[in-house]
Amino acid sequence: MVGTFAALGSGVTLWLALAQPELTATPTATPRKLAALPSPTSTASPTPTFTLTPTPTSTPLPTDTATLVPTFTPGITATPLPPTDTPPPPPPTPTPLPSDTPTPSFPFVILETEGHETNHLNFDVYVAITDENNKPLSGYRVLGRHSSGLQVDSQVSAGDWTVNSGARQYKGGNLKYEAFNSPSGTWSLQLVDEGGQPVAPSIDFPFDANAPSWYFILYRQVE
């Protein structure tokens, strides 16, 4: 039986069975056995290879090359020698003893002095200023300063014997130093030349108004 499909409207399909005559089998020739053909062998297609194309790289810019500055190489210094034994310090130098201050040299020396009581209140000094031969010399004066600050200067000496002390304890000279109504204290006398320069050592005399005295000085030239 053979069927077939019939299409109807509205999308309906019917299967139709058709009567077919019965077929009789007819013997057929025995088929020959054919040689089997070789099966085709599948050949693997070569796997394509990829060639890497190099990526261009950036060329680095040239950089400044630092110039080497020559450095100072120190020279060889001498190696100090090891310290040696320190010599002992020298003994202390003895300090010289202070010497006496030399006395200034004057052309006159005080050869003689005397003092005698009196009854008046003046400070009187009879002065003889002579050369080596005891001859009176003119042109000299005596400057006097009292301990209270009072100052009295004499007249200039004469070239002859012009003054004397009187008959009792007689002393003559060529200059008289006088300080009237002198207060008690000490008188310092200095012989000077016409220029006011000291020519003899100074000398001090005490004076007491309650028991006054007069004095004598002899200056002798030695230079």
**Domain CATH code at residue 122:** 2.60.40.10
SS3 56: coil
Question: How do residues 134-172 score in pLDDT, each as one tens digit?
Answer: 999 999 999 999 999 999 999 999 999 999 998 788 999
Question: Please, what is the Cα angle at 22 between 16 and 24, to 5 degrees?
Answer: 145
DSSP H or E run through 92: none
Sign, CA dihedral 16-22-28-33, equals: positive
Residue 133 within a domain: yes
| pTM of this structure | 0.55
Looking at the 3D structure of the chain, how many domains does it have? Answer: 1
- How buried is residue 111: exposed, middle or buried, by Cβ count under 10 Å (0-12/13-18/19+)? middle
Question: How do residues 76-114 score in pLDDT, each as one tens digit?
Answer: 666 666 666 677 777 777 666 666 666 669 999 999 999
Residue 17 within a domain: no
Residue 6 within a domain: no
Residue 90 within a domain: no
Domain limits for position 145 = 108-221
